[in-house]
Structure 1
Amino acid sequence: MRKIVYLWAILAMSISSFIVSAQTVDEIFAKHQEAMGGADKWSKVKSVVQSTKFTVQGMEIQSKSSILVGKAFRSEIEVMGNKMVQVIEGENGWWIRPQMMGGSGEPEDMPKEMIKVSKNQEAVGSVLLNAKLEGNKIDLVNKEKLDGADVYVVQITKKDGDVGTAYVSASTYLILKFATKVNLGGQVVDTELKFSNYKAIDGLYFPFSMETASPMGGGTMQVDTTSIEINPALDAAIFVKPVKK
């Protein structure tokens, strides 16, 4: 279940640079930003609530994420009547995991490695938009095919050295895939996410379908968004770690 929260991965490849000479990384970013709804609209997003559903090995899973942009993130995942809560606020994090998910059912501090890989969930918008806001390095690596479609391969290097690769559609300029590596208990794991079914909410575009490797092993997992609310009122108390019973 822990892999469900990992949204970062790496795949860096540099070949045939002459192929991408017609577009610069700045031009691609500008078109991507416009395709996502524009910088001005995204700057006005202060909070988001998103609900999703997916099925893993016959289990239907419901998830709800509440985000105070740039400040805090809370997710609630329900599996067979059991709920896992995960909260990131600043540099701190806590979670509640039922026994079936490897926990005690009580509030516990989250491991540092989990906080690191989950902290990006305090942001909204695409990995490219957030990379620009954070001042990370963005490089155009190549132009290639992804599932038969032309994509620009854009590498993002964070200030801490972590690297991720975004595959940007050459026709829509929306991100179709993101790949990176994450450190899971000392083991480096390759992960990738595929995005599709983009829809507009208040003029901002979100991928309503996501595909990734199943955390249970074997095959892929489809995650579908069922609803998104922009700028709902959120009670700060939902991010506060409860006292153990």
Structure 2
Amino acid sequence: MKTMIKSICLVAGMLVASVASAQSTEEILAKHEAAMGGADKWAAVKTAVVKNKFSVQGMDIESNTSLVIGKSFRTEVAVMGNKIITVIDGNKGWMNRPAMMGGTGEPEDMPADQVKMAGSQLMLGSILTNAKKDGYKIDLVSKEKLDGADVYLLTVTKPSGEDSKVYVSTATNFVVKTQAKVQVNGQEVDSEVSFSNYKMVNGLAFPHTVETPSPMGGTMTVETVSVEINPTIDAAIFAKPSK
């Protein structure tokens, strides 16, 4: 009888802990969503144009991305007088890279794995708001320190089993870092991205500084120059041109 009572108490305790954890996760998600501007405002965003700038090995680079949410995007990167174009349109993609940058100078189809990996760029907003909308599993792991500041560590798990670590500031409720393993050219590599300098655009919060380790060493910092919400975008810019 004592053993049975202990078992019942143990299960009850586990259930209480589970409910408490679920409530904490939902509370964090609700605060994060509110800080980002609210689900209704994000749902009203159908298109966007984002301009960025960054430097790599002393070269100043500018990029311009035209996005139809959940459907298509086109990014043009200008560097040293050359232009690299990357397009995702539905489940297909193409790119145009100059010969000096490893391309052919002609439009070429993107490999399926690159198209899949680039799929996350079809969305705006944070990894958490998008994961919640898509019904992915989100779990609160712990509360800890990151660079001396208090953060919540959550995990986002896709139906495929792929998961990401997401760090949320307890002070601002913004995502400040993500970590994941991604497939690049058939190899699994670590991906780490830091977000800061959040600014409101049309009532929506965007990180205007994004940092990630550079393959060439050091850190690559991308600064957002401007964000335009719901501009008119011609669908023709996503079509692959003839050679």
1:222 equivalent in structure 2: 221
2:191 equivalent in structure 1: 191
Rounded to whole Å, the distance in 2 between the matches of 1:22 and 1:162 is: 21
Query: Which protein, 1 or 2, shows the higher relative CO under an 8 Å CA cutoff with sep ≥ 6?
Result: 1
**Alignment size in residue pairs:** 226
Q: In structure 2, what residue type is equivalent to 1:118?
A: A
2:160 equivalent in structure 1: 160
Q: CA offsets per residue over residues 108-140 of structure 1, 9 Å max, x none?
A: 110111111101111111010111111111111
In structure 1, runs of 5+ residues without a counterpart are: 1-16
Q: In structure 1, what residue type is equivalent to 2:32?
A: H
How many Å apart are 1:23 and its aligned residue? Answer: 6.2
SS in structure 1 opposite 2:171?
coil
1:72-221 pair list within 5 angstroms: 72-215=72-215, 217-221=216-220
SS in structure 2 opposite 1:42?
helix
In structure 2, runs of 5+ residues without a counterpart are: 1-16
How many Å apart are 1:100 and its aligned residue? Answer: 2.3
Rounded to whole Å, the distance in 1 between the matches of 2:74 and 2:67 is: 6
Rounded to whole Å, the distance in 2 between the matches of 1:158 and 1:36 is: 22
Q: CA offsets per residue over residues 130-159 of structure 1, 9 Å max, x none?
A: 111111111111111111111111101112
SS in structure 2 opposite 1:130?
helix
Rounded to whole Å, the distance in 1 between the matches of 2:50 and 2:193 is: 18
Q: In structure 2, what residue type is equivalent to 1:220?
A: T
Q: In structure 1, what residue type is equivalent to 2:218?
A: G
Rounded to whole Å, the distance in 1 between the matches of 2:136 and 2:64 is: 29
**Higher CA-based Rg:** 2
Rounded to whole Å, the distance in 1 between the matches of 2:123 and 2:74 is: 12
1:62 equivalent in structure 2: 62
SS in structure 1 opposite 2:217?
coil
What's the TM-score, normalizing by structure 2? Answer: 0.90
Q: CA offsets per residue over residues 59-82 of structure 1, 9 Å max, x none?
A: 111011111011111111111111
SS in structure 1 opposite 2:33?
helix
Deviating beyond 6 angstroms after TM superposition, the runs of 4 or more aligned structure 1 residues are none
Rounded to whole Å, the distance in 2 between the matches of 1:100 and 1:198 is: 36
- Does the CA contact (< 8 Å) of 2:21 and 2:140 recur in 1? no
How many Å apart are 1:89 and its aligned residue? Answer: 1.4
Q: Are the structure 2 counterparts of residues 22 and 184 from structure 1 closer, same or farther at C-alpha, using a change threshold of 3 Å?
A: closer
2:3 equivalent in structure 1: none
Q: In structure 1, what residue type is equivalent to 2:229?
A: I
1:14 equivalent in structure 2: none
Q: In structure 1, what residue type is equivalent to 2:138?
A: I
Rounded to whole Å, the distance in 2 between the matches of 1:100 and 1:24 is: 52
Rounded to whole Å, the distance in 2 between the matches of 1:139 and 1:25 is: 6
Q: CA offsets per residue over residues 39-61 of structure 1, 9 Å max, x none?
A: 11101000010000000101111
